[in-house]
Structure 1
Amino acid sequence: MALYKSLQIGDWNAAKEFLNRNPHAISAKITVRDKTALHVAAAAGHVHIVEELVKQMSEENLEIKDIYGYTALALAAYFGNYRIAECMLGKNKNLIRIAINSGDIPVVLALFNGHLKLARYLYLLTPPEILMPENGSMGALVVCEAIYNKALDIALDLVQLCPRLVVTPNRFLESPFLILSRMPGYFPSGNRLVFWKRWIYSEEDISISTTSKPELLEECALSLFGRLLADRNQNLRAIKSTLRSAWKLGSDLRIVDHLYEMKLTHVQSNELLSRMKEQISISNIQQIRTGCVHEAVVRATGEGIFEFVSEMVKADPQFVFSRTAVSSNIFSAAVQNRRAKIFSLIYGFYTKSNLASTPDSSYGNSLLHMAGMSAPSTSLDHIAGAALQMQRELQWFKEVESIVPPRVHGQRNKMGLNPRQLFTKNHENMMSKGEKWMKDTASSCTVVGALIITIMFAAVFTVPGGNDQNNGFPIFLNKKLFMVFIVSDALSLFSSSTSVLMFLGILTSRYAEEDFLESLPRKMIIGLSTLFFSIVAMMTTFSAALFLMLHEHSWIFKPIICLASIPITLFVLMQFPLLVAMAISTYGPSIFDRKMKRWS
């Protein structure tokens, strides 16, 4: 206990004194879990004590395990202590091979816990032969954990060293190819960027120089990537320089660095996918089955990884027919998960009609039935308002309906429902929410529009400066600003009246399914647009009147006119994004690419 306590608190003098009195304690198991002094010091992270203990211990003593099979190096890998691991391996390199009871070697422990710098160091020292498929599943596990933890340089290097690992299952029966299909954030299609971030992202191509390994270590802590992409000979610093230059335009440097790391990940994942595709193209049926290749293609479809699915089906169109219990092919999975970009691939496929009419074996659902099912919540999270979500669902149903053979329209599944009946049943709740959202929005905007009508109607009869008592004409009738006042007042009155009428049309609508496709959104677009215009015209009317009355006191009216822009700004910030989103979803380009080039 005395030795244990001194090691825990980092008191080397006390520990050294104890060990001098009890030399055998240097390798003794001093805890109930069979940990040695080196185990305790390594777990506590005391580098100076570990260094002293390692000097006094033999190579064999460094290999002592606790009851869980952890050597002191395994603990250092688990907790991510680079210097401690380096110290131990400097004396005994065989430690890198020793696995814990679960079978994990140190590099896997470091990867599993996200200690990527240490993982890269351990990987470089791990003998390649123990990672080969003929020696077990450890190599596949290293690739899988590297992919999971975004250490794609390790995955790339090991796949290049042994391509068979792509379709080799780890001890959890998951192949590296299947793991990559679960990572949408590793590909461009899995990241939504605003326009200015897209500009920074696309400004330069990122690639790796084959002669810049030291620079890579300095720039992005990648110790392996310098020898991975021998066919690319461009400068890594180019993208870094370009992205950092955007900071001068006002971008936050952290955002720039984030975009740099994102693009680097995309380059690595695309290269990894390319190498995996090459190996799969020469794999036999058994390897494809054990490597979960078809399952991976369907999973990538569900995750919306367009690059993954596109590359695989173009390399071998047979992957289109990858299926699950509820999906007869990838297009069925794309409809089920509302992946428009992947579904657009169907326009370039030679047997489009056959795919569209083939039902799944479990429930008898055709492609149109899939469109009639409720969309996953994640696919609708970015769409504002239940009404627009209902509109998107109808667009999906109409698009799929347009490509399936007519006989599918009345085809019934095993529940006895045709596609339209299934759509109505599954979207009752969404329709109810969409109707409530439309009515609530229209009611609120109607109140605002009615207030503007009242104010603008009264303002035209109480003109600034009053009227001439002799003829009744306004005193400022010949002033140009008075004409601005009158015209803007009239425009505000007319546009707010139009707005109120549109919102009344929404409140009295029948709310049928088809109304959500275009009729209701069109009324909402007109109503919000005219309401916005009426607010701008109202503020213009107010400013013109104020200037006419106080034109000799600019110190008063100028700040007040500036304040008049606040309501306009607030409306733009709160409602304009909705207006734009609604206009794009109703009248913008289709969510589907019907001009997809023939690829099969």
Structure 2
Amino acid sequence: MMTEVESAHETHGSFVSKATGHPLPPPDHGTPVIALFNSFRQPQNLQPVPAIPPKLGKWDQSAPAQVHTNVFTEVLRKDQQDVTKILETPSQDVANNVPNSAALTNTNLVPYVILHLAALSGDWDIARNFLQSKPQAVRAKITKGSETALHIAAGAKRTIFVEELVKWMTSNDLELKNDVGNTALHFAAVSGIKRIAEVMVDKNPTLPQIRGIKDLTPLHMATLLGHREIVWYLYDKTILMDRDHMGLLISAITADLYDVALDIIQKNPQIAFARDENGETPLHVMARKPLACYSGSQLGFWQRCKGSLLPHTKAPYGKKLMYMQATQLVKQLWEKILTLNSDSAISDLIRTPSSLLFTAAELGNIDFLIILLRSYPGLIWHVDEQNRSIFHTAVIHRQEKVFNLIYELGGLKELIVSYKDNNNNNMLHLAAKLAPVIRLNDDTGAALKLRRELLWFKEVEKIVQPLYKEMRNSIGKTPQILFTEEHKELLREGEVWMKGTASSCMVVATLIATVMFAAFSTVPGGNNNDTGIPIFLQSRAFIVFAISDAVSLISSAASILSFLSVLMSRYAEGDFLHSLPNRLIVGLATLFISITAMMITFVATVFIVLGSEFHGIKVPIALVAGVPVGFYALLQFPLLADMINHAYISRVSFRPCNHLLH
């Protein structure tokens, strides 16, 4: 059983964990960073009182990323008095108050609970009062992980607290390590706050050289997490050994710190041939980093529009700068590799442990491939272990930009297209296979996914020899038979998706047509009993009413017919290429027009009925009438835009771009 003290301190441990808010490391940055964060251990099994976060005083200001807690300092000081009172209570009394009490896990941590909480919250006033009574606590290990108050404050991004605490410490105190061997500067590197690192290094310039877990320097820790500002600061302060450069370069590339990577390459050009623990060179790592995502060519439709409307915003500039740096890094690495004595040496380097050409082709890293092919055109003839070229790989993984390079080869493309893999599959067989899930998910709905697959099959069919269209692979299947079998389930899902979408939209279109027909039959204001002519015929609002009502009725009728034709289709494979998408586009577009015209009709009716008065009512009603139109556009326009993109824009996806020549 736990004593009351144990129980109370456990509550503080819970508060500490929530208040600190340490950022978790990216999952692909490896064990070193995870182990560093695991070293943020909180004291457990101690509960002086229910935890009350402290108020932030004048000493609590920190970097912008610092998390503040707004609670009154007086409450915390009362909390401290309660803690002290409980800590001074005889253990027998505590045991009597809490049934089934157990022994304290670590009695040495109990006196430092107040300092621990102050370091977490950044309350220097409380910490200063505590240190005045116990000066030795400045270097005490106050957690189960053997962290000092400086470790805790640095990890919690408490800049002002660190500045004041360092004044109480000697340079040797700053070198204290926790259980896993990390100093407070390692914690500062992970936090990413440059000012915290500056305060420590100014006090002890040798701190950047001290290695922590996995023999990593603070510089390496900051690089793993991509904290550019503190990386550049520590980069100038750290004396690196030869074995450090490769690990630092790979970490910089992984974290997109290409400016740092360029500096490392320029100072150590021979590192282009070095390999990491996985046997990969820096160029292998760059092959997995599609440069197009930094240039903006892989942005979505709305993102590209935003970039064109706001060309001078900071984000696009940062992306362009990163793209330029990444491109320059690839060029420098490749130029260095081309200095090797023979083609076989170059081939061995780029093929081991895996071929970086095919990695780049699989991921669609078109800019990377262009850089390599421009200076070494012979790479287009390279094949993998299954006798597939980079163009075959592009077909398998549906990478249009990489595949388009084949159009720039002229007559040579006939030779590459003739390659067959170990299973006697030609390029059309590979196009007939179902695309990887990650590529299928780029499209909305099963019907558009199937259409994308059909586009690929038809495009490859155009460039293969006629004989290859009927060629059988090792299991006796032609490309067309293979396509039908591979896409049987997708065809069924596409039919269900098309019918469901058409049925739902047709119900709405039918309702609109019914309402609009009824509205025109009973015009607002009524008719003249003698002539039968509408009373408000000469009103401008009535003209708007008549036109919008007619437009809504006609467009909704067109929408009904369009969706009806979708429902009555035979749903063959070829129908998904042009016929069905075009019909659905017409139906969605006319439905949107009918909804918009219906709301205009409603507004015109309001103006007719209310006459020339009640302006305070008519204007708000007119504004609110636009809400359904906007809501429909918000929900359905992305689908319509995607279908238009598929039906018309994607037709020019397969075309030569002259990347290799310009």
Task: State TM-score, norm by structure 2.
Answer: 0.69
> Pick from 345, 367, 371: which aligns with 1:286?
345
Q: What is aligned with 1:570? A: 631
Deviation larger for 341-350 or 472-481? 472-481
Given that 1:280 and 1:288 are in contact with CA atoms closer than 8 Å, whether structure 2 keeps it comes out as no
1:112 paired to 2:232: no
Cα distance change of structure 1 residues 67 and 578 upon mapping to structure 2, 3 Å threshold: closer
Distance 2:133 2:108 in 1: 9
1:594 paired to 2:651: no
Cα distance change of structure 1 residues 173 and 453 upon mapping to structure 2, 3 Å threshold: same
> Pick from 165, 179, 191: which aligns with 2:285?
179
* Local SS of the residue matching 2:561: helix
Aligned-residue sequence identity (percent) comes to: 36
Report how far residue 308 of structure 1 moved: 1.2
* Local SS of the residue matching 2:651: coil
Deviation larger for 409-418 or 75-84? 75-84
Q: What is aligned with 2:331? A: 274
- Aligned-partner residue type, residue 303 of structure 2: V
1:198 paired to 2:311: no
Given that 1:372 and 1:426 are in contact with CA atoms closer than 8 Å, whether structure 2 keeps it comes out as yes
Q: What is aligned with 2:640? A: 579
Given that 1:186 and 1:265 are in contact with CA atoms closer than 8 Å, whether structure 2 keeps it comes out as yes
Matches within 5 A, 1:354-433: 354-361=415-422, 363-433=423-493
1:332 paired to 2:392: yes
1:298 paired to 2:354: no
Given that 2:283 and 2:334 are in contact with CA atoms closer than 8 Å, whether structure 1 keeps it comes out as no
Distance 1:334 1:487 in 2: 52
Given that 1:187 and 1:269 are in contact with CA atoms closer than 8 Å, whether structure 2 keeps it comes out as no
Q: What is aligned with 1:222? A: none
Matches within 5 A, 1:191-270: 191-192=299-300, 194-199=303-308, 203=311, 243=312, 256-270=313-327
* Local SS of the residue matching 1:599: coil
Given that 2:131 and 2:137 are in contact with CA atoms closer than 8 Å, whether structure 1 keeps it comes out as no
Distance 2:213 2:389 in 1: 41
Report how far residue 517 of structure 1 moved: 0.5
Given that 1:320 and 1:330 are in contact with CA atoms closer than 8 Å, whether structure 2 keeps it comes out as yes
Matches within 5 A, 1:483-498: 484-498=544-558
Distance 2:229 2:484 in 1: 54
- Aligned-partner residue type, residue 250 of structure 2: C
Unaligned regions of 5+ residues in structure 1, if any?
A: 20-25, 204-242, 244-255
Given that 2:446 and 2:490 are in contact with CA atoms closer than 8 Å, whether structure 1 keeps it comes out as yes
Q: What is aligned with 1:219? A: none
Deviation larger for 115-124 or 311-320? 115-124
Deviation larger for 3-12 or 430-439? 3-12
Given that 1:298 and 1:333 are in contact with CA atoms closer than 8 Å, whether structure 2 keeps it comes out as yes
- Aligned-partner residue type, residue 583 of structure 2: K
Cα distance change of structure 1 residues 170 and 106 upon mapping to structure 2, 3 Å threshold: farther
> Pick from 152, 161, 169: which aligns with 2:258?
152
Distance 1:407 1:122 in 2: 63
1:188 paired to 2:247: no
Distance 2:144 2:623 in 1: 75
Q: What is aligned with 1:170? A: 276
Deviation larger for 81-90 or 318-327? 81-90
Task: State TM-score, norm by structure 1.
Answer: 0.75
* Local SS of the residue matching 1:594: coil
Report how far residue 30 of structure 1 moved: 13
- Which string of whole-angstrom CA distances, capped at 9 and with x for unpartnered residues, describes residues 12-35 of structure 1? 66776599xxxxxx9x999999x8
Cα distance change of structure 1 residues 534 and 111 upon mapping to structure 2, 3 Å threshold: closer
Q: What is aligned with 1:317? A: 377
> Pick from 512, 515, 524: which aligns with 2:584?
524
* Local SS of the residue matching 2:404: helix
Distance 2:190 2:525 in 1: 82
- Which string of whole-angstrom CA distances, capped at 9 and with x for unpartnered residues, describes residues 202-242 of structure 1? x4xxxxxxxxxxxxxxxxxxxxxxxxxxxxxxxxxxxxxxx
Cα distance change of structure 1 residues 525 and 95 upon mapping to structure 2, 3 Å threshold: closer
* Local SS of the residue matching 1:345: helix
Cα distance change of structure 1 residues 16 and 420 upon mapping to structure 2, 3 Å threshold: same
Q: What is aligned with 1:122? A: 234
Task: Indicate the RMSD between aligned Cα atoms, in angstroms.
Answer: 3.9
> Pick from 501, 514, 538: which aligns with 2:574?
514
Cα distance change of structure 1 residues 80 and 586 upon mapping to structure 2, 3 Å threshold: closer
Q: What is aligned with 1:353? A: 414
Report how far residue 508 of structure 1 moved: 1.3
Deviation larger for 104-113 or 480-489? 480-489
Unaligned regions of 5+ residues in structure 2, if any?
A: 1-106, 117-126, 155-161
